[in-house]
């Protein structure tokens, strides 16, 4: 058995990892909730965001946290354009087609990054990468604690946006009742593009928060996607608060199952919980009734 302080540290580690998972899952769940598609390109877009952070730092020494804002805007535009110019026209609204197109996009992005940056693992060297905060005799990474705060702020902003802004209301309307929303004069194609853009913007933020302590290579995003899928389901597909709580929950579960079962076998913990939740309560732990 581990000492209480180790357990506490594992808990906090789980929260810190889970916060990043949550942000990635928020993007995924938004796109799922509105477009009803499983976006296979999500991981590749995250990789692209991380390379963007790396590239800005390598070329002009732009600090990852400074890069956060412009990249968020840039990736929103990029996501908007991808949905409006590629996914929308090429899929003609068919789910199977969207699946194939996002898969095709993932292959393109991942391998374009491979061709440009090659396969080497890279990281950014910032002075605060090893900064720590001492809590109860334990050391915690400052950049990762910061990430938790930013994720909570982003989730709050997003929730306010969805609840109160005109576009946010329209997004929720399309998510609930697409045809009805269309009849009310909402431009569904534009809402789709905005939603896809928001999903990509979340990934830009996640990339900026990850890079000070993590690393990037052309396949790095894949490591996060599967876990993001499970969080989306746990939180209830389409639910932003669900994704946030689900992310933190999975982060903690992973942390403890890693501690007690080992990192390799610990991964089973996530999937077993996932299967159980699906079988018992398919609307998700935190989701409203579908």
Told to check if 180 binds other proteins by CB under 8 A, we report no
Told to check if 239 binds other proteins by CB under 8 A, we report no
Told to check if 104 binds other proteins by CB under 8 A, we report yes
Three-class DSSP category at 139: strand
Among 86, 146, 152, 285, binds other proteins (CB under 8 A): 86
> Segment near other proteins (CB under 8 A), from 46-54, 65-73, 191-199, 217-225?
217-225
Q: How many CA atoms lie within 13 A of 168 on its CB side?
A: 10
Length of the chain, in residues: 290
Told to check if 58 binds other proteins by CB under 8 A, we report no
- Helices within the chain (DSSP H only): 4-35, 42-60, 64-81, 88-91, 95-117, 142-164, 166-176, 178-183, 188-210, 222-235, 240-261, 263-280
Told to check if 50 binds other proteins by CB under 8 A, we report no
Segment 106-165, which members bind other proteins (CB under 8 A)?
106-108, 110-115, 118-121, 123, 125, 129-130, 132, 139, 141
Segment 243-262, which members bind other proteins (CB under 8 A)?
255, 258-259, 262
Told to check if 32 binds other proteins by CB under 8 A, we report yes
Q: Supply the minimum distance, in Å, between the C-beta of residue 32 and other proteins.
A: 7
Query: Among candidates 34, 64, 63, which has minimal Cα distance to 199?
Result: 34
Three-class DSSP category at 133: strand
Told to check if 84 binds other proteins by CB under 8 A, we report no
Tokens coding 152: 């909570």
Told to check if 92 binds other proteins by CB under 8 A, we report yes
Among 25, 205, 233, 248, binds other proteins (CB under 8 A): 233
Residue number with CB closer to other proteins (13 or 83): 13
Residue number with CB closer to other proteins (96 or 185): 96
Among 45, 155, 203, 227, binds other proteins (CB under 8 A): 227
Three-class DSSP category at 135: strand
Burial of 114: CB neighbours in 10 Å, binned 0-12, 13-18, 19+: middle
Residue number with CB closer to other proteins (32 or 76): 32
Each residue 259-278 as x (binds other proteins by CB under 8 A) or -, in order, gives: x--xxxx-xx--xx-xx--x
Query: Among candidates 136, 113, 100, which has minimal Cα distance to 51?
Result: 113
Cβ atoms 202, 157 nearer than 8 A: no
């Amino acid at each position: 058995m581990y000492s209480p302080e180790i357990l506490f540290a594992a808990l906090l580690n789980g929260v810190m990892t889970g916060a990043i998972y949550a942000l990635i899952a928020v993007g995924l769940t938004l796109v799922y909730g509105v477009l009803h598609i499983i976006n296979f390109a999500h991981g590749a877009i995250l990789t692209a965001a991380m390379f963007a952070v790396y590239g800005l730092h390598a070329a002009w020494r732009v600090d990852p946290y400074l890069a956060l804002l412009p990249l968020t805007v840039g990736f929103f535009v990029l996501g908007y354009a991808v949905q409006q110019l590629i996914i929308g026209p090429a899929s003609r609204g068919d789910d199977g087609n969207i699946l194939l197109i996002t898969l095709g996009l993932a292959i393109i992005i991942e391998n374009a990054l491979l061709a440009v940056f090659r396969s080497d693992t890279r990281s950014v060297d910032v002075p605060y990468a090893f900064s720590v905060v001492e809590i109860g005799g334990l050391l915690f990474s400052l950049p990762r604690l910061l990430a938790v705060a930013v994720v909570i702020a982003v989730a709050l902003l997003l929730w306010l946006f969805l609840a109160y802004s005109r576009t946010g209301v329209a997004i929720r309307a399309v998510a609930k009742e697409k045809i009805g929303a269309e009849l009310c004069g909402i431009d569904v194609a534009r809402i789709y593009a905005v939603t896809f853009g928001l999903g990509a913007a979340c990934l830009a933020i996640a990339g900026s928060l990850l890079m000070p302590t993590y690393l990037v290579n052309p396949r790095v995003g894949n490591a996060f996607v599967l876990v993001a899928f499970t969080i989306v389901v746990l939180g209830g597909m389409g639910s932003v608060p669900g994704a946030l709580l689900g992310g933190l929950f999975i982060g903690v579960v992973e942390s403890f199952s890693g501690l007690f079962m080992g990192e390799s076998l610990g991964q089973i913990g996530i999937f077993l919980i996932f299967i159980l939740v699906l079988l018992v309560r398919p609307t998700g732990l935190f989701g409203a009734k579908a």
